[in-house]
Chain A
Amino acid sequence: GENVEQHPSTLSVQEGDSAVIKCTYSDSASNYFPWYKQELGKRPQLIIDIRSNVGEKKDQRIAVTLNKTAKHFSLHITETQPEDSAVYFCAASGNSGYSTLTFGKGTMLLVSP
Chain B
Amino acid sequence: DSGVTQTPKHLITATGQRVTLRCSPRSGDLSVYWYQQSLDQGLQFLIQYYNGEERAKGNILERFSAQQFPDLHSELNLSSLELGDSALYFCASSVATSGSLVTQYFGPGTRLTVL
A residues in contact (CB < 8 Å) with B:
32, 34, 36, 42-46, 49, 51, 89, 91, 93, 96-106
Contact = CB atoms under 8 A, between A and B. Distances in A.
A101 B104 contact: yes
Contacts, number: 59
Which size bracket describes the interface of B in this complex? 20 to 34
Given A99-B96, A103-B42, A106-B43, 8 more contacts: A44-B43, A46-B103, A46-B104, A96-B56, A99-B94, A100-B33, A100-B48, A105-B42
Interface of B: 2, 31, 33, 42-45, 48, 55-56, 58, 90, 94, 96-98, 100, 102-109
Nearest to A106: B42
Nearest to B48: A100
Given A45-B2, A46-B103, A98-B55, A103 B43 contact: yes
B108 A98 contact: no
Contacts of A46: 103-105
Nearest to B2: A43
B42 A49 contact: no
A98 to B, nearest CB: 5
